[in-house]
Amino acid sequence: MSDILFHYYRVNPTTWFYLASLLSIALFFKFNRVLSMRNLDLIGLILLAPGLLAVEYGGYKANTAAQQLGFVWIFAVTGLFLLRMLFDSLMVRRPMLEPNLSVGGLTFLGISLLVFLLANVITTRPQRDDLAAAATATKLEAGEGHVDADQLARLGPGYPLLFLLPQISTQRIFAPEGAAAGAETAASSRRAVHETTARIMAILSQLAIVSGMVLIGWWHFDNIRLGIAAAVLYLLLPYTAIMTGRVDHVLPGALITWAVVAYRRPFTAGCLIGLAIGTIYYPVFLLPLWCAFYWERGIRRFALGVVAALLVLVVALWFTSPDGGVFLDQLRQMFGWIFPNDVSLEGFWALPGNDAVFRLPVLAAFIAMMATLAIWPSPKNLGTLMSCTAAVLLGSQFWKAHDGGLFMAWFLPMLLLVIFRPNLENRVALLVLDANWFPRRRPPVDQAA
């Protein structure tokens, strides 16, 4: 960027936390209704950043106490948002609290933020620690080994080809040691291809998230200003600035966001949810919720879409696998065929003093919550579908073995849309979906109701 903008220096994440927090308050805080739920939600979003910064500081300084404090802080704020999403369906009164800036001003600010964030993705070179997972998985592409149980335990479930891509961290508080060595490693032709692919996928995923949030506001909220406001707040968050280039963070979030955009097309929504499941596995826990939403109408189309997307990913693995043994190992990693006790723990559960056995009751509570949300509330409208989707993705962070709590892009788009959404009681499958596979033009929802 310094080649384009004279003497441009990237803003430090800590400095950006202060600036973005003040700007978010100026844009979205309702000063005439200080105790409104919108203001509490905004404060909670701002409080996510200190935990994220403490985790990075603790990791760089090898300060276990600071890192543990960061994870506990993130889990505490995430837990409050989980309760907020679970009780969102009970909030019948939803006054229209629009942002403090006009549509034109929000659009200009959003486009400006997006340009700078994506420019950081283009100009950032992966460092040594960004290449760790990719280096482990590169032998898969070359046919030099298998995704054995040890590799699955270390990398976690997900689409094997996704692990070939480097993790581009666009903002850092500290420069990691060995940065030069990492840059030299990235100079090989194969690494350059993976690096370029990661940049393109990250950019397209971020564009998909932002455009999807705007379209949801326009098409489903009947208020494009709310969609733009949610997108601008997403771009302002310090987490977005730090993790802009992390494909494993933003790609599942983009697919789930567009599944909500296409919720009136059950087959398309099923394909997008299926791709999200095949990409990072954890959205598989959304299936009971989404099947319950489409139960009265559209369930077969949705299920067929999920199966079709997973089959496409499996066939792609077959053609990229050097032999049948590697294919089976890749398939095992894609569907997470591993016992919870066999995984290699990272993040909160790997810290001293945190017994991994307590992760099992957390997992059991998550499964109970997932099953409950499939039954209640009934019937489900678009509002409950979005809030319960955010709740499931929030809940998965508490027992995720690999850096749980840090994958905020999975739930942030849905969380922000729920914060800004109006009443959506009449957006139920029986009213908004056609009974036929090929939909006809329908009257507006208000007339249909």
Q: Is residue 338 left, alpha or beta, with left meaning phi > 0 and alpha meaning psi from -120 to 50?
A: beta
Length of the chain in terms of residues written: 449
CA atoms within 13 A on the CB side of 109: 21
Number of domains in the chain: 1
Find out whether 197 and 121 touch, Cβ atoms under 8 Å.
Answer: no
Identify the CA nearest to 371 among candidates 291, 296, 294.
Answer: 291
* DSSP H helices in 216-358: 224-236, 238-242, 247-261, 266-280, 287-293, 299-320, 324-334
Lowest mean pLDDT among 146-155, 172-181, 194-203, 412-421: 172-181
- Alpha-carbon gap, residue 382 to 386, rounded angstroms: 6
42 in any annotated domain: yes
Give the pLDDT confidence of 16-53 residue by residue, as tens digits: 999 999 999 999 999 998 889 999 999 999 999 999 99
Find out whether 295 and 381 touch, Cβ atoms under 8 Å.
Answer: no
The answer on pLDDT for 141 being more than 60 is no
83 in any annotated domain: yes
* Main-chain dihedrals φ then ψ at residue 381, nearest 5 degrees: -105, 180
Identify the CA nearest to 213 among candidates 447, 418, 441.
Answer: 418
Label residue 345 by pLDDT band (50, 70, 90). Answer: confident
Give the pLDDT confidence of 104-118 residue by residue, as tens digits: 999 999 999 999 999
130 lies in which domain range? 13-448
Give the mean pLDDT of the chain: 86
CA atoms within 13 A on the CB side of 319: 5
324-356 burial, b at 16+ Cβ within 10 Å, e below that, comes to: eebbebbbbbbbbebeeeebebbbbbbbeebee
5 in any annotated domain: no
- Alpha-carbon gap, residue 110 to 381, rounded angstroms: 29
Find out whether 216 and 260 touch, Cβ atoms under 8 Å.
Answer: yes
Mean per-residue pLDDT, 201-225: 96
- Alpha-carbon gap, residue 373 to 82, rounded angstroms: 13
Mean per-residue pLDDT, 410-432: 94
Identify the CA nearest to 210 among candidates 267, 156, 250, 161.
Answer: 250
* Main-chain dihedrals φ then ψ at residue 34, nearest 5 degrees: -60, -35
For tokens 């603790």, the residue is: 58
Identify the CA nearest to 397 among candidates 389, 387, 388, 408.
Answer: 408
323-331 contacts, C-beta under 8 A, 24 or more apart: 323/143, 325/146, 326/140, 326/143, 326/146, 326/147, 329/146, 329/147, 329/148, 329/152, 330/140, 330/147, 330/160
Give the pLDDT confidence of 288-342 residue by residue, as tens digits: 999 999 999 999 999 999 999 999 999 999 998 878 888 888 898 898 887 766 7
- Alpha-carbon gap, residue 226 to 222, rounded angstroms: 9
pTM over cut 0.85: yes
Listing DSSP states for 325-337 in one string gives HHHHHHHHHHTT-
- Alpha-carbon gap, residue 62 to 42, rounded angstroms: 31
2 in any annotated domain: no
6 in any annotated domain: no
Greater confidence (170 vs 12) lies with 12
> Which residues does residue 245 pair with via DSSP β-bridges, in sequence order?
168
- Alpha-carbon gap, residue 352 to 238, rounded angstroms: 28
4 in any annotated domain: no
Lowest mean pLDDT among 157-161, 230-234, 292-296, 301-305: 157-161
335 in any annotated domain: yes
Q: How many CB atoms lie within 10 A of CB 294?
A: 21
260 in any annotated domain: yes
